[in-house]
Structure 1
Amino acid sequence: MGISSSVPKNDQSTTTTKKQIFILSGQSNMAGRGGVKNKHWDRIVPDDCKPDPSTIHRLNANLIWETAQEPLHADIDTRKTCGVGPGMSFANGVKDYIVGVIDLVPCAVGGTAIKEWAKGEKLYEDMIRRSKAAANSGGEIKAMIWYQGESDTSSKHVAESYKSNMENLIRNVRSDLGLPSLPIIQVAIASGTDAKLVEVVREAQKAIDLPNVVCVDAKGLELKEDNLHLTTTAQVQLGHMLADAYLAHFG
């Protein structure tokens, strides 16, 4: 992973340091494929994604806090090569406007359909377990950032079920974390298997009718040659869009 520095828990637990926790979840575009080609990451880290050891931390797969740096999901989305995602540019985008340190909880796994994030399924339970561990170490969960849906564009039935499945997911996360008003920032997908079904899922995402749910639209952001994953530049842009949405609605 190339991550050697760690942030001891006692360094983050002083009475003067406020910990702001953000859950990063979904599938490959959240996990990050920016700069990945032929299963290799080019290791190019844009300035907006640079680590900030004193301010931005991540919960690794072993539930230990460490300096957050790209690729954020390397030990979470282990079946694929991870690169740049939106998480670091988001964190760098909000750090000057909120008090305290930023603790990121990466949970995204590529190629996963929303049914795999249903309550009781491994991905969902892992996300809840990691989120609770983050909160138990001291801090407040401020939002869940969700970018998923490309895998639900292969079937008409699945695409048409997206809205109800996503609303159930939001209700379950809020209930299991004991945060009934937890802010949710979801990304409306920009790509998928079937263009018509991409629009079905996008409309579902934009139609979620629950309080404290904001939608950020990825449509128009640059895609890689595979026409599925965002480029590094697009991921940086998306991170800024997510930061702007958080600060405008919940900051």
Structure 2
Amino acid sequence: MKLTTILEFNKRIVFAVAALLILGGLGGVLLQPSFLRPLAELAVTARRTEVPIRSVRSGRVMVALTFGQSNAANSGETRYRSRGRVYNFYQGKLYAARDPLLGATGRGGSVWTRLGDRLVAQGRYDAVVFVPLGVGATGIARWAPGGDLHAKVVSAIREVKGSGLNVTHLMWHQGESDVGRTGTLTYETMFLDMLVSIRDEGVNAPIYVSVATRCHNQGADRTIRRAQQGLVDPSLGIYAGPDTDKLGRRYRYDRCHFSTEGLEKFAELWLKALAPGGDK
């Protein structure tokens, strides 16, 4: 056997033994959540443009917490990168907004990046900050106190406050998953319980409730629509958001989530709902 062949063989053995030692001796450490979490965080925020939070602590700034299910998350057909001063707040840091937004589920596009550009372009705000929390296929029970996602809302509010910002708007778009499962009164009660908890965190911002029940072959649902419309009460700071049940199959690439055209229409509906006088 040639000397070079022997050396190459020995080198492979050394590498194999080293790998076994690492996996055996350090594997338990490397696979611990405390070790993996920073690596996962680095991967999520890679190639994002971080912006100093101090840049949005003055002026006319909207800080909107957006939550609900997939159409409040990143489930749109096409991604969009905001061109104006529109930002994505995520785990105490601020990034230039581009889809998919950090903090919400899904890998597609969102309505928020498009809405932010419209709000800034119209001069309503100097800057817009979105705090996206949407999670696909979630019923309202998961967002209400006692639900597994309620802590996510509370935690985000505290992170925003800890960064020297205040939530100015709450935007709720949810309901499809409750069709045929939740009654009108139950839906309203869980929503109001959720809102009370948010108010207890010192957030007195107006909350905008979308009417959203249409998904796939499921048409508009009277029970959930009645609950969402019945919740509107300006004396409690609850206002009407967009009625996206009006956006039919033409605007949904899979009969549920919004196409590019649908996202543009959705953004226009939000723009109208947020205007003085609201969605009338």
State the TM-score, normalized to the length of structure 2.
Answer: 0.72
SS of match in other structure, 2:203: coil
What's the CA shift for 1:170? 2.1
The counterpart of 1:203, out of the listed 206, 222, 226, is 226
Structure 2 counterpart of 1:105: 131
Structure 1 counterpart of 2:203: 179
Measured against aligned partners, the alpha-carbon deviations of 1:81-109 in whole angstroms (never above 9, x if no partner) come to 43122111221121233343211100000
Structure 1 counterpart of 2:64: 22
- The residue identity in structure 2 corresponding to 1:241 is L
What's the CA shift for 1:196? 7.3
The counterpart of 2:98, out of the listed 60, 63, 69, is 69
SS of match in other structure, 2:275: helix
CA contact under 8 A between 1:187 and 1:218: conserved in structure 2?
yes
What's the CA shift for 1:68? 0.7
CA contact under 8 A between 1:116 and 1:123: conserved in structure 2?
yes
- 1:4 and 2:48 aligned: yes
* Rounded Cα–Cα distance in structure 1 between residues aligned with 2:70 and 2:211: 14
CA contact under 8 A between 2:188 and 2:227: conserved in structure 1?
yes
Structure 2 counterpart of 1:38: none
* Rounded Cα–Cα distance in structure 2 between residues aligned with 1:210 and 1:175: 18
Q: Which segment drifts farther, 115-124 or 24-33? A: 115-124
The counterpart of 1:52, out of the listed 83, 88, 93, is 83
SS of match in other structure, 2:113: helix
- 1:235 and 2:263 aligned: yes
CA contact under 8 A between 2:62 and 2:169: conserved in structure 1?
no
CA contact under 8 A between 1:147 and 1:189: conserved in structure 2?
yes
* Rounded Cα–Cα distance in structure 2 between residues aligned with 1:104 and 1:204: 26
CA contact under 8 A between 2:88 and 2:94: conserved in structure 1?
yes
- 1:245 and 2:270 aligned: no
Measured against aligned partners, the alpha-carbon deviations of 1:197-229 in whole angstroms (never above 9, x if no partner) come to 822101110111432322221122144354222
Pair 249,136 (structure 1): closer, same or farther in 2 beyond 3 Å:
farther
Pair 209,146 (structure 1): closer, same or farther in 2 beyond 3 Å:
closer
CA contact under 8 A between 1:5 and 1:67: conserved in structure 2?
yes
Pair 145,236 (structure 1): closer, same or farther in 2 beyond 3 Å:
same
* Rounded Cα–Cα distance in structure 1 between residues aligned with 2:220 and 2:59: 45
Q: Percent identity?
A: 20
SS of match in other structure, 1:146: strand
Pair 163,197 (structure 1): closer, same or farther in 2 beyond 3 Å:
farther
Specify every segment of 5 or more residues in structure 2 that has no aligned partner in the other structure, as ranges. Answer: 1-43
* Rounded Cα–Cα distance in structure 2 between residues aligned with 1:18 and 1:136: 19
SS of match in other structure, 1:98: coil
What's the CA shift for 1:167? 2.2
- 1:143 and 2:169 aligned: yes
* Rounded Cα–Cα distance in structure 2 between residues aligned with 1:198 and 1:82: 28
The counterpart of 1:221, out of the listed 247, 252, 255, is 247
What's the CA shift for 1:249? 4.1
What's the CA shift for 1:135? 2.9
* Rounded Cα–Cα distance in structure 1 between residues aligned with 2:216 and 2:76: 19
CA contact under 8 A between 1:190 and 1:220: conserved in structure 2?
no
Specify every segment of 5 or more residues in structure 1 that has no aligned partner in the other structure, as ranges. Answer: 36-43
Pair 151,159 (structure 1): closer, same or farther in 2 beyond 3 Å:
farther
Q: RMSD over aligned Cα, in angstroms?
A: 2.5
* Rounded Cα–Cα distance in structure 1 between residues aligned with 2:63 and 2:100: 18
